[in-house]
Amino acid sequence: MKRERPQSFNKVPMKERLTIPRQVMPEQDATVRSGNFLEVNLGLTPEQAVVEAQRCIECKNPTCMDGCPVNIKIPDFIQLICNEDFIGAARKIKEDNSLPAICGRVCPQESQCEEVCVMGRRFEPVAIGRLERFVADYAMQHDDGSEEIIEKPTSTGQKVAIVGSGPAGLAVASDLIKEGHEVTVFEALHEFGGVLVYGIPEFRLPKVILRKEVATLEAMGVKFVKNFIVGRTMTIQELMADEGYDAVFLGLGAGLPRFMNIPGENLNGVYSANEFLTRSNLMRGYEFPEWDTPLYRAKHAIIVGGGNTAMDAVRTAKRLGADEASIVYRRSEEEMPARNEEIHHAKEEGVKFMNLVNPIEFISDDQGSVVAAKCLRMELGEPDESGRRRPMPMEGSEFVMDVDMVVIAVGNGSNPLISQTTPEIETNKWGNIVADEDGRTSMDGVFAGGDIVSGGATVILAMGAGRKSAIAINEYLKAKVRS
Amino acid sequence: MSLKDQINSMDMDVIVEMCINQEQQAIDLYTLARDQAKDESSRQKFQELVDMETVHKVSLSNFEIENYIELPPADLKVTDYLIEPELKGNMTTQEIIILAAKREDKTARMYQDLADHFHFDKKLNTFFQMMADEELRHKHDLETEYENEFLQEG
């Protein structure tokens, strides 16, 4: 079926569109922001958003939607921005993505929708992520969300428990509440949002945005229960048999930090990225002593890793007052999995990059605190299975450097609590839950999606998995009524 | 009498049998660990190790030196600097891979030493070189798996 697109009244001739430069995101000055936790990117102005939207060449066969894991109707919402219908554009996105203000900030658009933007073949791609963020922020300020909240469907009387309030869980909650089910989200921590709240710093994703998204879901009827550890407070079997939940969705994420298993990782001053970022983001360690979680002010903090978590940690260390904050990465910058924007921002803020270096031991003083890191220099060999050139240790290249804080950011695994307490649910050798593409697990009525199934991935991929599971849960519940 | 002196006085069949026994000991160890593992993910990884060693044992029973083509795999050295974990019931998959890679490394070094020692005996030299390469291949595969899963660098 042919899709009807909104007609644009702010039409710009095609040739002119190609000459419009990609709009620059206004941001806090690097020297100022490296001393505060306020958001770095300030967001496009309405005028910039319209100009950026006018860069879209309205392809007959747009590829941008294929690059989005939840297939947002990108050309449509961009046309609505051209028409200056910003709230309409936000609602158009919300048809497919319940968390646009979050995805507009943290999605790796350069490797998703923007990577396949036709404009990007010859020029810079349309800044789809920045436009998404703009309309989502605009709607938060100007739209009371009443349209979503008022349209309450008839209750089915069926209950769904969602375990985990991260992106997968929130996506499932949003879709299932619209179907009339009674939806309860159980969160182990004292704030909702999962990795969005404990993992991503305020300067990249202000907590107020997340709270507003949660508040909208609450207003739609979703119940939120915090400090509730499924597997400890209550098992899945108890939720279903004793509390009457007809279906359960497991969106626990990958919250178990991985260490390198080198000597000295248990010294004082050596953190997992999870602990370090949780202390700062969730426990507001950056506001110590007003908040009571302390964090070191390091002379030299090193962060081991090259992904977005490593960038978040190193920029947090810098903001906490470290004299020097360095990334220590065993490959070269070319192989870094972090977003280019994050690497660029980190460099602007004075972060030092020690590439092709790998720690092999952390050394302590007589108090058990880390004082130095023994490292090896690496060189790149042949490409490995990921296509990245493989780092190999250089013989005799050992050196020792002074450090008083280390953050290990080499990845996360899944928490074994569910697999230990619910043996009916099949897991693989990495401890991830085994689920089919619609999220069905080996236990009847239990579905799973996001990082707990796929291992560490992106927010939008977790949301995409959540949406697929929501469809499958809805079908499961309908079939249950029929039988 | 040292191992090298013992080997010097053995027939080839006996040497092969000795190596098959080595593989069987590894199979027995990993089987025991699999049965004692406290969670499913560890059980699965130990079973994979049992399967890997079983394939090697069977190939040893049928091996022919004439067919051996020397293709030594790269030593990635990913686990060389890591702490060697103890074999116990509640190991994580990460610990199991480190343990197994270190065992393969030690065995590869032992066979390489024997290959170098028997450089004057083509049959023995080739046999031990083949064994060393095979153990190094196991280490390579385990370290590749380790890199893919535990060094995502996120």
pLDDT in tens, A340-360: 999 999 999 999 999 999 999
For testing the chain A interface, which of B50, B80, B81, B92 should be mutated: the one with the most A CBs within 10 Å? B81
Inter-chain residue contact A310 with B39, CB threshold 8 Å: no
* A14-143: CATH architecture: Orthogonal Bundle (1.10)
Q: How far is CA A360 from CA A262, A444, B44, B79, B94, in A?
A: 6, 46, 29, 10, 17
The pLDDT profile of chain B, 154 residues, written as one tens digit per residue, is: 787 788 777 788 888 888 899 889 999 989 988 998 888 888 898 999 999 999 988 888 877 777 777 777 889 999 999 999 998 878 888 999 999 999 999 999 999 999 999 999 888 899 899 999 999 999 999 999 998 888 877 6
Pick A410's closest partner by Cβ from B76, B85, B152: B152
Domain with CATH 3.50.50.60 in chain A: 147-255+413-482, 259-410
Task: Tell me the range of A120-129, A139-148, A457-466 where mean pLDDT is highest.
Answer: A120-129
Residue labelled with tokens 């069926």: A158
Q: Which residues of A touch B (CB under 8 A)?
A: 258, 260-263, 305-310, 329-331, 336-337, 360-361, 376, 381-382, 384-386, 390, 392-393, 409-413, 416, 419-420, 423, 426-431, 455-456
Q: In this predicted model, what pLDDT tens digit does every residue of A136-160 receive, in sequence order? A: 999 999 976 666 655 678 999 999 9
| Coil, strand or helix at A271 | strand
pLDDT for residue A1 is more than 50? no
Rounded to a whole number of angstroms, the distance from the CA of A360 to the nearest CA of chain B is: 6
Give the mean model confidence (pLDDT) for residues A394-419: 93
Q: Return the pLDDT at B1.
A: 72
Query: Residue A391 — φ and ψ, nearest 5°?
Result: -80, 135
The domain locations on chain B are 3-65+78-150
> Which pTM value belongs to this model?
0.90
What value of ipTM does the predicted structure carry?
0.84
Handedness of CA A335, A338, A339, A343 (dihedral sign): negative
Chain centroid, CA A182 distance in Å: 26
Instruction: Report chain B residues whose CB lies below 8 A from the CB of A455.
Output: 149, 152
Select B3-65+78-150's CATH number: 1.20.1260, 2.60.40, 1.10.3470, 3.40.5.
1.20.1260
Domain with CATH 1.10.1060.10 in chain A: 14-143
pLDDT for residue A117 is more than 50? yes
Distance between CA atoms of residues A58 and A241, nearest Å = 53
Distance between CA atoms of residues A455 and A468, nearest Å = 17
CA angle B79, B85, B91 (to 5 degrees): 110
Whether residue A263 contacts residue A362, with contact meaning beta carbons closer than 8 Å, is answered with yes
Q: Which residue has the higher pLDDT, A454 or A245?
A: A245
Q: What percent of chain A has pLDDT over 90?
A: 78
Return the residue of A nearest to B150 by Cα: A411
Q: Which residue has the higher pLDDT, A469 or A460?
A: A469
Q: Return the pLDDT at B49.
A: 93
Inter-chain residue contact A384 with B144, CB threshold 8 Å: yes
Instruction: Report chain A residues whose CB lies below 8 A from the CB of B41.
Output: 416, 419, 427-431
- Residue A111 exposure: Cα atoms within 13 Å on the Cβ side: 12
Q: What is the DSSP letter of A254?
A: -
Handedness of CA A196, A200, A453, A240 (dihedral sign): negative
Whether residue A404 contacts residue A365, with contact meaning beta carbons closer than 8 Å, is answered with no
| Coil, strand or helix at A321 | coil
Pick A305's closest partner by Cβ from B39, B94, B153: B153
Q: Does domain A259-410 have CATH number 3.50.50.60?
A: yes
* A147-255+413-482: CATH architecture: 3-Layer(bba) Sandwich (3.50)
Whether residue A370 contacts residue A362, with contact meaning beta carbons closer than 8 Å, is answered with yes
DSSP letter for each residue of B58-118: HHHHT--GGG----PPP---SSTTSPPPPP-TT--HHHHHHHHHHHHHHHHHHHHHHHHHT
